Amino acid sequence: MRAYRSGFLAAGLCLLALTLPVVAPTPSRAADARAIHERLLTLDTHLDTASNFRRPGWNMMERHEVLDNFSFVDHPRMIEGGLDGGFFAIFTPQGPRDAAGYAAARDTALTRAMQIREMVARNEDAFTLAFRARDAAGVTPSGARIVYQSMENAYPLGTDLSLLTTFYALGVRMVGPVHFRNNQFGDSSTDPAGPEWNGLSPLGRGLVAEANRLGIVLDASHAADAVLDQMIDLSATPVILSHSGAKAIWDHPRNVPDALLLKLAASGGVIQMNAYSDYMVALPDDPKREAALDEVQERYGPMRELAGEELAAYARERRAAEARYPAPRADFEDFMAHMLHALDLVGPDHVGIGLDWDGGGGITDMEDVADIPRITERLLAEGYSEADLANIWSGNVLRLLQTAEDHAAREVTP
């Protein structure tokens, strides 16, 4: 096993593990890694794929290509990549914090939850809704894919925390308070205006308590460091970062500093590593590229509303603009730098996978969900065991979900 900070590993073992060479995988080793990958229960904790369910002509059961369709997850590619399921996000962009804005966001989120359930109902042999940690038990790579639900940005709740009970009834088992901007629950890591609440708002503290009461895992991805710090202190159950990175590797506001990762792990929490290029490495701005892409966008409108020849034309023009102004991207080694740092820091009981597919995730050499077996292959080459990978791929998040369920059950027991 690769060394990590735990307090009980001898220093000599740490030095030995860190100096062992990484051997390039042979074909037989790759085959062995794939066999292990297929045996594992694999869950990704942040799939924005539900945003595609309303696209005209888009079918979860058909195989799509990133360059033609700009989607990253579908049933055929889940099979190719050996992904057994994950948390499908009910995402709502941040909007006005007034009665009309809250009502519109609520309706959008309820519609998205219905779209997730309808996709599963249409394809009941291929997908199954999951509500408890135990619902993932017994899943095999040839069986139905597991669909948990999460809420990215609690903005649709408005100021009525009782709405969280409605979303819980629909299947939501993970909730993150904020997205790109500050909102009524707390501060975002990326709001240009800076902090508004210096962490959680009073309503945000109420959200923590209500999530604990219901048995919903709290997610601090996108939240300011102060929010994560306070959520760890306030929550009765461990907190997750469903799709984040390590600030020690790239000092981006979306990434998390080591001190907070250590505090997260000490409380039982988990960081799930994302594959969003901008958060992996420093990428230079290219105004000409942005202008060319904006021109294509303005001509065709929202990509997710296009279909048929109109979508094909949009894809051709977008690819042409990207070819004229190629942009550097993060690659698989950049992703592994973040992941290996987190593993070295807090160990495999506190690290997992949340690649942000269909929400911006996708890097060179790991373009879509079909490519994820290379994570397993690389971690095995680094010295991690199959038991470690079982925790990384699903065991850790299911432990958090079970802990949240157990706490909620105690709360209602007389």
* Backbone Cα Rg of the chain: 21
Q: What is the CATH number of domain 24-283+328-412?
A: 3.20.20.140
pLDDT on residue 413: 61
CA-CA distance, 160 to 157, in Å (whole number)? 6
Provide mean pLDDT across the span 359-376. 97
Is there a contact between 83 and 146 (Cβ–Cβ < 8 Å)?
Answer: no
Overall pTM > 0.85: yes
- What does the mean pLDDT of the chain come to? 91
At 385-413, the pLDDT tens digits run 999 999 999 999 999 999 999 999 998 76
Closest CA to 366 of 72, 27, 139: 72
The residue extents of the domains of the chain are 24-283+328-412
Provide mean pLDDT across the span 270-287. 94
CA distances to 65, 222, 242, 243, 296 from 207, rounded to whole Å, are 39, 16, 17, 20, 40
Backbone angles phi, psi at 112, to 5 degrees: -65, -40
Provide mean pLDDT across the span 369-374. 98
CA-CA distance, 79 to 339, in Å (whole number)? 24
Closest CA to 109 of 94, 125, 96: 94
pLDDT on residue 23: 44
pLDDT on residue 140: 58
Provide mean pLDDT across the span 88-100. 98
At 169-188, the pLDDT tens digits run 999 999 999 999 999 999 99
At 26-50, the pLDDT tens digits run 566 778 999 999 999 999 999 999 9
pLDDT on residue 328: 87
pLDDT on residue 221: 98
DSSP state of 195: -
CA end-to-end span of the chain, whole Å?
45
**Is 50 exceeded by the pLDDT of residue 4?**
no
**Is 80 exceeded by the pLDDT of residue 17?**
no
Element (H, E) at 277: helix 277-280
